[in-house]
Amino acid sequence: MALIVQKFGGTSVADIDKIKNVAQKAIREKKAGNKVVVVLSAMAGETDRLIALAHKAADSPDPREYDSLISTGEQVTVTLLSIVLNSMGHPARSFLGFQVKILTDKAYKKARIVSIDTEEIKKELKKGRIVVVAGFQGVDDDNNITTLGRGGSDTSAVALAAALKADQCDIYTDVDGVYTTDPNVCDKARRLDKISYDEMLEMAMTGAKVLQPRSVEMAKKYNVPVYVKSTFSEEGGTLVTKEDKDMEKEVVSGITYDRDQAKITVVHVPDKPGIAAALFTPLSEQNISVDMIIQNASLEGHTDLTFTVSKKDLKDAQKIVNSAAKKIGAKKVEVDDDVAKISIIGVGMASHSGVAATMFKTLADEGINIMMISTSEIKISCVIQRKYTELAVTVLHNAFGLEKKK
Ligand code: ADP
Ligand code: ASP
Ligand code: MG
């Protein structure tokens, strides 16, 4: 008897018929003799609707109440699925984060899971019930409801799989696996049978939203085999696992994009020690992650500092940066949220020259201006104008021959 965690995303539970389809998938695993834990997202669009309501209610909604509010979409789907399963004669029980208890830290909107109490779930499984757990939510040690960041039910599922020592974690979604790039943006995208944790992590971190980055981090740490599968078709599938010999060792194996980026430039900053710290320390204290950073060459003792933050952090970041900029004597702060980050990923990149040049030339040939560049051993990212996102993905996919490789 195996223990299987199945996670279904928003489009997979968008209405009652789809929830009935999810029930069939859980029942199938149960009938095959497995113990089944199902993790659900909210219905497609529901979390966005709740977020919009919070921002209609107040400019800066109180974070505790905000998390409590946006976690409610999952309560609807887990209870509906349990109702459906029970009515079909398959005993099931739903659990919210605090009922499990999925303990997190106190970072509202992007809480990290600290521990999961598996006792209650194990008891239910022993009784032969299907256990249905609300994704995306947890509780801190003061009993406040927290959420795990957008796309966080992936992380709930992998964390539960790790804590329960599950044999497998199946992530069911609206595409039939992980592709060389977003198949909804580039029709030449190719599905991968297998991808290593490291490459998947890099793809997730640079924008491929098929898996939340933390879910991949966790899968790697606890060695959880993750299968990305389609809810709507039996075909395909991608296994995310440890790197092995028969995995593709391409120079470039994937292209990603991230439209959730905003660029902030602090203009004419005195070029002296402590300036970067004065800007970035208050941002990190407010839990705002800074992604790419560039500092221009100094001219007559002054320089410009440009960096990117997630769009959802922009308002808060702007306040902090405006105040820090005054203190350090910068001339002004400029913001551009009409940008996107395009990245190419590949473990083989470090040992090959000319990859960056190919990327830059490909973009230049299309008249796409590069505003910022950052590189790591297995990725190169460029910030460009947002309107060129799809074009950039498509021409880079072609330039690196990703559709052809078998
Ligand atoms: P869910 O609601 O099931 O969690 P998401 O919308 O979060 O689904 O993630 C699935 C989406 O991820 C797909 O519809 C696809 O557009 C997008 N995506 C982006 N990059 C990739 C990729 N490389 N491979 C597969 N899907 C991708
Ligand atoms: N419902 C949450 C979101 O929309 C969590 C998830 O879908 O994974 O971000
Ligand atoms: Mg998702």
Ligand nearest to the backbone CA of 172: 1
Q: CB neighbours of 304 closer than 8 A, spacing ≥ 6?
A: 265, 266, 267, 268, 269, 295, 296
User: What value does the mean pLDDT of the chain take?
Assistant: 95
Q: CB neighbours of 103 closer than 8 A, spacing ≥ 6?
A: 113, 114, 115, 116, 117, 138, 139, 140, 141
Q: What is the pLDDT of residues 258-299, one digit of tens each?
A: 999 999 999 999 988 999 999 999 999 988 999 999 988 878
What protein residues have CB closer than 5 angstroms to ion ligand 3? 9, 151
Ligand 1 near 181 CB (within 6 A): yes
Ligand 2 atom showing the smallest separation from residue 9 Cα: 7
Ligand 1 near 137 CB (within 6 A): no
Ligand 1 atom showing the smallest separation from residue 10 Cα: 2
Comparing 163-177, 315-329, 344-358, which segment has the lowest mean pLDDT?
A: 344-358
Question: From ligand 2's centre to the CA of 42, what distance in Å?
Answer: 6
* pLDDT band, very low/low/confident/very high, at 12 (cuts 50, 70, 90): very high
* pLDDT band, very low/low/confident/very high, at 405 (cuts 50, 70, 90): low
Whole-number pLDDT of residue 350 = 79
Ligand 1 near 173 CB (within 6 A): yes
Whole-number pLDDT of residue 26 = 98
Which of 47, 174, 260 maximizes ligand 2 atoms within 8 Å of its Cβ, making it the mutation to test the pocket? 47
Q: What is the pLDDT of residues 144-174, one digit of tens each?
A: 999 999 999 999 999 999 999 999 999 999 9
The verdict on pTM exceeding 0.75 is yes
The set of protein residues with a Cβ atom below 6 angstroms from ligand 2 is 9-10, 41-42, 47, 73, 135-136, 150-154
Residue labelled with tokens 């709507």 = 232
Contact 104, 124 (CB under 8 A): no
Residue with CA nearest ligand 2 atom 6: 151
More confident of the two residues 295 and 80 = 80
